[in-house]
Structure 1
Amino acid sequence: MKLALIGGAGVRTPSMIDSLVRRHHEIPIRELVIHDIDPHKIDTIGAIVKHLVRQHGSPFRVETTTDIAKAVEGADFIYTAIRVGGEESRAIDERVALRHGVLGQETTGPGGFSMALRTIPVMLEYSRIIERESPNAWVVNFTNPAGLITEALSKHTRLNLIGICDAPSALKLDIAKFLNEPADDIHLHYFGLNHLGWVNRVTVRGIDRLPYIIDHYDRFARSCPHMACFSPELIRQLRMLPNEYLYYYYYREQAVNHILSSPHTRGEQIAEWNRNLLVQLKEKLQEGDIEAAIALYADTMQKRQNSYMSAETGKAGNAGSMQHKPLDTSQASLENEGYAGLALSIMSAICNNKKTCLILNVPNRGTIADLRDDDVVEVPCMLDANGPVPLAAGALPDSVKGLIQSVKQYERYTVSAAVTVRTRMRYGR
């Protein structure tokens, strides 16, 4: 079995591969190919990955390449995590929006729109290559803005496609911790779009525990700091738990003011950290000090995690759910939820034909009554070797119906614009 990581020279890759090695008994891949268009980054990240795999007895072969066709040829699973324009373009997107007094954020608002327009044409080109080289592969889309990219590919390709975001699954883990229940015993009744979703029931052995969480929201927010950005009054009014990205809608002026008062946007901060990390990793690898390189990697990832949403909320050290836990160099392995945990759970469910309930980005097909069948939505799905089957969510609550429908219409227009521009550039029309 072959796994290809497209855009695999990102800093999250070592954490994911460490998790993959530890779960090799249930995900028995034989070949891993890491693809990226930047040969310098791929050499550095590739060296870290190969060391981690060797530490665990080399259960599979690792290759790196800048050739997309070679990377995906004959693959069973393909993970896409590209960033067209790099961190520098993200930082520009954020600053341009802020100059006009509106939200500067990677996936939400004008920044997400710009990123989608850059990324959709490239992802469609990659999809054509995948359709030719690996027509039966399962393609798991990490690429942001995940909902928009998944929508474009689901409407304009023939891929076996699943879109993922780890915010809902991370929220489930937070709820499990708060209720002191095993995560597998909890079912989230979740509905919406990527970065625009809500939990309206939390079922534990047939009992809805959401009222308890809402009644004790102060305590819940203390145990899950990234959710402290929502006031208990708002939560009691909604009678639902929002995805953390709803902060940018419910508190948009506050978010803009906090970012403007910060010395750096999140994109500028990440760009600087990643740039410095890659330079220092390369130096450590040239010195032959792989353990120092891994320690450096762990330290940087910890800083990223601890700073997540701190500028936007004005709360320093606000560790959020979206970031991976870093490599723990004091142990032989790391615990890694986030994207890695979700992505590997998808692989395990499909290759073992093991029914698993996961919150995924998939075509609606009647799941949410107030949206079109071909709209991509973020909902719980039953997943096995046959792929994801979304679970019915019913009609949208009146309190959020207008917002979801407005944002979905924006997503439809954005995908249409990106595809139209790509067509005209390709055929000169």
Structure 2
Amino acid sequence: MNRRSLTVTIVGAGSTRTPALIGSLVNYKERFPLKKLILFDIDKSRIDVQEDYIRLTMEKYSPETELVFTDNEDEAYIGIDYAFVQMRVGGFEMRGYDEKNPLKYGIVGQETCGPGGFAYGMRSIKPMIHMVEKIRQYAPDAWILNYTNPAAIVGLALSKVFPHDDRILNMCDQPYSMIKSFAKILDVDMHDIEPRYFGLNHFGWFTRLYNSKTGEDMLPRLKNYLVDHEFKPFNAEQRDQSWLDTYKNVNKMMSFFPEYLPNTYLQYYFFGDEIAKASNPNYTRAEEAKAGREKQVLDICRKATEQQSLDDIPLLIGEVHGNMMVEVAESIAFDLKKVFIIMGVNKGRKIIPNMPEDALVEVAGELSKDGAKLYPYGEVKTFYKGLMENQHAYEKLTVEACLESNYQKALEALTLNRVIGGNPVDAKKVLDDLMEINKDFWYLK
């Protein structure tokens, strides 16, 4: 396999997901060869603690790749082919507030859904816009592959500000993770599953699961299995209890609406009240992640620094986040036309005819050298259309509130959000709290 080597920048490289992404890049090096890898984060201390592990790993497995660690955004973007974007504006500290503050009012706290997702989106939009402007200054033709959450809000904002930039692609790894879990249940290779799907990000449904070798739609078989079995992630033994409960709620959602298989994140919109009641306001997923993945990864990195070798240190691999990022870039770079679940603007209502044309819909599509080709889905039924239109209105008002610093639109957005339930009194309480907590990041008038 003879493929040209590429230059990639990881934006938000201080994330503890990065070492596993490095493992994925190593595993795919023949398929996606790297000439240069730039690890960029505005918080240099987050990169510093991981630098030795990453350096030692690349020296061992990919010594031909030039490696750069930097907190200088000018240096980060010069002449790159791809930007893999995984920002977390405000870090774990602000994520903790996103998850805990709504619980004061009996409202579910989650980093991408509801008020938590609203606050995170408001923090992320302007830094993401700045990033795109900088990249276009130094690398006008680079592909910007955005995995920054909440992807629905961030992606919608970018589509509004950069309507003609077709080299910005917003992706989410949860459908990929679910397909990997489907494959384990169905006993097939996940790459032999060609899905059909419709919705908005973190707000959609699987409608078909075609076996690309036999043509069989395996969704009926999967649904029959789930009647009598709990849905579990493919790596259930490694998951925190909250994620096991999340997957189990897919069964519960299907007990009410069995036609399609829902994205796990829909649990927050259907069962928000009970999830809020069951939540520990002092220990949310932010603490779970810090005590779990964050601690594990940082301990491994510190050990690499102490011994300056990889002896007795495993190669971390991103079976979902990392692998998907590399597979997406590979499909674009080498014109593979592989099928993924992709976000894109519903221009001319060509994808979902009975949804607004400015909606950032999420459907199956293929990725080639020309970018994303979303498969037209057709009209969605009244129930799903109603849910999606409400969610799109919330997302659109959130973006406008951020870009215009508009308090009224923010209040309207949160009032519409299903986890708040249409109560403007609760929406205002939460919004005023979030404004105070996030005053260093955004302000409304």
Fold shared by both chains (TM-score > 0.5): yes
**SS of the counterpart of 2:405?**
helix
Spell out the pairing of 1:385-400 with structure 2 (5 A cutoff): 385-400=369-384
Q: For the structure 1 residues 178 and 287, does the alpha-carbon distance in structure 2 shift closer, same or farther, using more than 3 Å as the test?
A: closer
> What is the aligned counterpart of 2:397 among 409, 413, 419?
413
C-alpha separation in 1, matches of 2:232 and 2:124: 36
Between 1:45-54 and 1:136-145, the stretch displaced more is 45-54
Between 1:7-16 and 1:178-187, the stretch displaced more is 178-187
C-alpha separation in 1, matches of 2:294 and 2:196: 40
Deviation at 1:279, TM superposition (A): 6.8
Give per-residue Cα distances to partners, 1:242-287, cap 9 Å, x unaligned. 0011111221112111113x65011233345577568756753553
Does 1:353 pair with 2:362? no
C-alpha separation in 2, matches of 1:232 and 1:154: 34
C-alpha separation in 2, matches of 1:165 and 1:87: 20
Query: What amino acid is aligned across from residue 255 of structure 1 in structure 2?
Result: I
- The aligned residue for residue 162 of structure 1 is 169
Spell out the pairing of 1:366-405 with structure 2 (5 A cutoff): 366-405=350-389
Does 1:44 pair with 2:49? yes
> What is the aligned counterpart of 2:68 among 60, 63, 79?
63
Deviation at 1:174, TM superposition (A): 1.8
Q: For the structure 1 residues 75 and 208, does the alpha-carbon distance in structure 2 shift closer, same or farther, using more than 3 Å as the test?
A: same
Query: What amino acid is aligned across from residue 109 of structure 1 in structure 2?
Result: G
Give per-residue Cα distances to partners, 1:176-223, cap 9 Å, x unaligned. 222222323322111111110101122233332322222221455355
- The aligned residue for residue 137 of structure 2 is 132
C-alpha separation in 2, matches of 1:223 and 1:412: 33
Aligned positions, number: 388
- The aligned residue for residue 195 of structure 2 is 188
Does 1:14 pair with 2:19? yes
Does 1:268 pair with 2:299? no
Q: 1:213–1:220: 8 Å Cα contact kept in structure 2?
A: no
Query: What amino acid is aligned across from residue 265 of structure 1 in structure 2?
Result: T
Q: For the structure 1 residues 373 and 234, does the alpha-carbon distance in structure 2 shift closer, same or farther, using more than 3 Å as the test?
A: same
C-alpha separation in 2, matches of 1:38 and 1:140: 21
- The aligned residue for residue 262 of structure 2 is 242
Query: What amino acid is aligned across from residue 389 of structure 2 in structure 1?
Result: Q
- The aligned residue for residue 211 of structure 1 is 220
- Structure 1 residue runs without a partner (length 5+): 296-328
C-alpha separation in 1, matches of 2:253 and 2:198: 22
C-alpha separation in 1, matches of 2:18 and 2:185: 29
> What is the aligned counterpart of 1:120 among 125, 150, 153?
125
Q: For the structure 1 residues 370 and 169, does the alpha-carbon distance in structure 2 shift closer, same or farther, using more than 3 Å as the test?
A: same
Give per-residue Cα distances to partners, 1:313-349, cap 9 Å, x unaligned. xxxxxxxxxxxxxxxx2xxx56532121111111111
Between 1:25-34 and 1:262-271, the stretch displaced more is 262-271
TM-score when scaled to structure 2? 0.81
Does 1:336 pair with 2:327? no
Q: 1:112–1:145: 8 Å Cα contact kept in structure 2?
A: yes
Q: 1:88–1:271: 8 Å Cα contact kept in structure 2?
A: no
**SS of the counterpart of 2:208?**
strand
**SS of the counterpart of 2:257?**
helix
Q: 2:333–2:369: 8 Å Cα contact kept in structure 1?
A: yes
Between 1:90-99 and 1:274-283, the stretch displaced more is 274-283
Query: What amino acid is aligned across from residue 197 of structure 1 in structure 2?
Result: G
- RMSD over equivalenced CA pairs, Å: 2.6
Q: For the structure 1 residues 289 and 258, does the alpha-carbon distance in structure 2 shift closer, same or farther, using more than 3 Å as the test?
A: farther
Does 1:202 pair with 2:209? yes
Query: What amino acid is aligned across from residue 414 of structure 1 in structure 2?
Result: T
**SS of the counterpart of 2:318?**
coil
- The aligned residue for residue 307 of structure 2 is 288
TM-score when scaled to structure 1? 0.84
C-alpha separation in 1, matches of 2:303 and 2:181: 36
Q: For the structure 1 residues 233 and 143, does the alpha-carbon distance in structure 2 shift closer, same or farther, using more than 3 Å as the test?
A: closer
Give per-residue Cα distances to partners, 1:354-406, cap 9 Å, x unaligned. 11111112222321122233321111111111101000111112232211110
Between 1:10-19 and 1:392-401, the stretch displaced more is 392-401
Query: What amino acid is aligned across from residue 357 of structure 2 in structure 1?
Result: D
Q: For the structure 1 residues 273 and 289, does the alpha-carbon distance in structure 2 shift closer, same or farther, using more than 3 Å as the test?
A: farther
- Structure 2 residue runs without a partner (length 5+): 1-5, 234-243, 407-440
C-alpha separation in 2, matches of 1:71 and 1:165: 23
Query: What amino acid is aligned across from residue 36 of structure 2 in structure 1?
Result: E
Q: 1:9–1:46: 8 Å Cα contact kept in structure 2?
A: no
- The aligned residue for residue 241 of structure 2 is none
> What is the aligned counterpart of 2:87 among 71, 78, 82?
82
C-alpha separation in 1, matches of 2:332 and 2:259: 35
**SS of the counterpart of 1:197?**
strand
C-alpha separation in 2, matches of 1:91 and 1:373: 35
